[in-house]
Structure formats: structure tokens, C-alpha cells
């Protein structure tokens, strides 16, 4: 399953801000959440990033037509407290010594992780709001002290 880190590693990693996000990591989060398109990073259209762009195009294609959760994470509001990490039920039960204990996740199947003081969301396909069987889960929204997570 595609992760933010996989996307980030293929971006130019210059944090030039041309895409409108403050870092390449933030742009990777936007891409995974389908809030932005790869072409908004104009540096990756340059010839020397051709292979990376092709790889990103192929990685992002499967999620392009998928039902969306509407999840929006506002990195500028996130304090990195980790409340959402342990509150989200997705795979916390299978992570008894990590998120299940209120600690950093020890597997890649959880939805939220705090990286360098900011939460990142991946595996959004596992969110209970995703797809045709979606349910209105509020478990990550309610414990967030800053309103950094919303669903459109």
C-alpha cells in the first residue's frame, strides 16, 4: 500500500515551495490525500527527474479514481501531540506494543504517524470513512486539540 514516505523519496526534496506547500513532505501528504496533483510540483517536470515522475505517475494512478475519505490534515495546525495516532482504531489492535500502548506505531498499517513533529496520514484506504461501506468515524477528530484534522 502506498505511503507518504514512498512518495516523498521520489520528489526533488528541495523544499522550494513552488507547489504551495512548505516542504516536499507536506506535498507528499497532499498527493496521498489527493488534494493536489503532481504537476503542481513543476521542478519534477524537468528532464533530470523524468524517471522519478514516471514512477510517481504509476504509483498515484491506482488511487486517482478511488472513493475518497475527504480527509484533510492541516500540518500548520498540528502540534505533533500524537492523540490521533492512538485514537484511530485502524490496526491499533495489531500494534499492541506501539499505538495500542499510546506509543509510536510499530507497523506501517496504521493511518497516522508523527514524523518530525507533524502528523502524516497514509493508508487512507483503511479509514472507516473510505469506500462504499464508509461509517462516520470521529475517533481522530475529537481528541485533536487544534482542529488539525477535518473531513470535507
3 state DSSP class of 28: helix
Count of residues that interact with ligand SF4, criterion CB under 6 A: 40
Task: Assess 67 for contact with ligand SF4 (CB under 6 A).
Answer: no
Q: Is 68 in the site for ligand SF4 (CB under 6 A)?
A: no
27 binds ligand SF4 (CB under 6 A): yes
Contact 105, 113 (CB under 8 A): yes
What is the smallest separation between the CB atom of 82 and ligand SF4, expressed in angstroms?
5
100 binds ligand SF4 per the rule CB under 6 A: no
Span near ligand SF4 by CB under 6 A; candidates 49-57, 59-67, 96-104, 121-129: 121-129
Amino acid at each position: 500500500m502506498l505511503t507518504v514516505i514512498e512518495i516523498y523519496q521520489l520528489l526533488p526534496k528541495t523544499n522550494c515551495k513552488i507547489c504551495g506547500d512548505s516542504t516536499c513532505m507536506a506535498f507528499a501528504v497532499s498527493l496521498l490525500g489527493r488534494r493536489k496533483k503532481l504537476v503542481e510540483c513543476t521542478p519534477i517536470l524537468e528532464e533530470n527527474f523524468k524517471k522519478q515522475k514516471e514512477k510517481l505517475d504509476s504509483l498515484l494512478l491506482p488511487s486517482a479514481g478511488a472513493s475518497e475519505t475527504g480527509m484533510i490534515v492541516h500540518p500548520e495546525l498540528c502540534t505533533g501531540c500524537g492523540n490521533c495516532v492512538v485514537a484511530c482504531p485502524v490496526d491499533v489492535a495489531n500494534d499492541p506494543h506501539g499505538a495500542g500502548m499510546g506509543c509510536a506505531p510499530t507497523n506501517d498499517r496504521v493511518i497516522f504517524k508523527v514524523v518530525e513533529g507533524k502528523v502524516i496520514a497514509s493508508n487512507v484506504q483503511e479509514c472507516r470513512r473510505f469506500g462504499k461501506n464508509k461509517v462516520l468515524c470521529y475517533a481522530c477528530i475529537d481528541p485533536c486539540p487544534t482542529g488539525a484534522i477535518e473531513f470535507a
